[in-house]
Amino acid sequence: MSCSEVELDNRGPGLATAATAIREANDHSGDGAQPPTQNEFSLPPADTGKDAWLFLAACWTVEALVWGFGFSFGVFQEYYTSHLPFRGDGNIAVIGTTTLGVMYIVTPFVIALSRLRPRWARYFTLGGLTFASLTIGLSSLATTTAQLIATQGVLFGLGGCFAYCPSIIYTDEWFARRKGMAYGIMWSAAGFGGAVLPLVLEALLTAYGFRTALRVWAVVLFLFAPPLSYFVRPRPSLSAAAATSGRLSAFKNVSRALSRRRQRRRLLLYQLANVVQATGYFLPGVYLPSYARATFGVSTTRAALTVLLSNIAAILSSVTLGTMTDRMPVTTCLVLSAAGASAAALMLWGLTSTLAGTYAFSVAYGLFAGGYTSIWPGIMRETANPRDPEEDEHAHHAYLDPSLVFAWLCAGRGLGNVVSGPLSDLLLRGRPWLGRAPGGYGSGFGSLIVYTGVSAFVGGSAFFWRRLGIL
Count Cβ atoms within 10 A of the Cβ of residue 215 and give its class: 0-12 exposed, 13-18 middle, 19 or more buried.
Answer: middle
Give dist(CA 282, CA 43) in Å, integer.
41
Residue 401: phi, psi to the nearest 5?
A: -50, 125
Q: Give pLDDT, residue 385.
A: 63
Answer yes or no: do 227 and 296 share one domain.
no
pLDDT greater than 50 at residue 7: no
CA dist 229 and 72 (Å) reads 23
Q: Is the pLDDT of residue 248 over 60?
A: no
Domain ranges, residue 175? 49-247
Distance CA(233)–CA(167), nearest Å, equals 8
Tell me the per-residue pLDDT of 206-236, one tens digit each, with 9 for 90 and over. 899 999 999 999 999 999 999 999 999 888 7
Q: pLDDT at position 31, please?
A: 44
| Tens of pLDDT, residues 8-20 | 444 443 444 344 4
Do 71 and 20 share a structural domain? no
Query: What pLDDT score was predicted for residue 320?
Result: 92
> Is 28's pLDDT higher than 70?
no
Residue 85 preceded by cis peptide, ω within 30 = yes
Q: What is the mean pLDDT of residues 432-443?
A: 90
Q: Which of 201, 229, 247 is the last residue of a domain?
A: 247
- List Cβ neighbours of 284 (8 Å cut-off, separation of 6 or more): 306, 307, 310, 345, 349, 361, 362, 365, 452
In this structure, are 276 and 383 located in the same domain? yes
247, 270, 293: which is the final residue of a domain?
247
Same domain, 145 and 233: yes
**Lowest-pLDDT range of 76-85, 124-133, 141-150, 314-323:** 76-85
pLDDT value at residue 424 = 86
Domain count, the chain: 3
Report the amino acid identity of residue 441.
Y
Residue type, 60: W
In this prediction, residues 294-315 reach a mean pLDDT of 88
Position 260 scores a pLDDT of 66
- Tell me, yes or no, whether 260 and 383 share the same domain: yes
- Calculate the average pLDDT of the chain: 82
**One domain for residues 235 and 132:** yes
b/e for 292-326, b at 16 or more Cβ within 10 A? bbebeebeeeebbbbbbbbbbbbbbbbbbbbbbbb
Residue 114 shares a structural domain with residue 217: yes
Residues 160 and 210 in one domain: yes
Q: How high is the pLDDT of residue 249?
A: 52
Query: For 363-419, what is each residue's pLDDT tens digit?
Result: 999 999 999 999 998 898 888 765 554 444 444 445 577 888 888 899 999 899 888
Are residue 73 and residue 101 in the same domain, yes or no?
yes
- Tens of pLDDT, residue by residue over 332-361, are 999 999 999 999 999 999 998 899 999 999
Q: Is 245 a residue whose pLDDT tops 60?
A: no
Instruction: Write down the pLDDT at residue 55.
Output: 92
Give the whole-angstrom CA distance, residue 420 versus residue 56.
31
In the chain, the amino acid numbered 237 is S
281 pLDDT above the threshold of 90? yes
30 or 320: which leads in pLDDT: 320
- The confidence score (pLDDT) of residue 45 equals 73
pLDDT at 239: 47
pLDDT at 14: 40
Q: Within this chain, do residues 319 and 418 fall inside the same structural domain, yes or no?
A: yes
Range in 17-31, 130-144, 423-437 with the lowest mean pLDDT: 17-31
The predicted structure's pLDDT at residue 252: 52
269 and 351 co-located in one domain:
yes
* CATH number, position 452: 1.20.1250.20
- Which residue has better confidence, 300 or 182? 182
Separation between Cα atoms, residue 379 and residue 82, nearest integer Å: 43
* One domain for residues 237 and 342: no
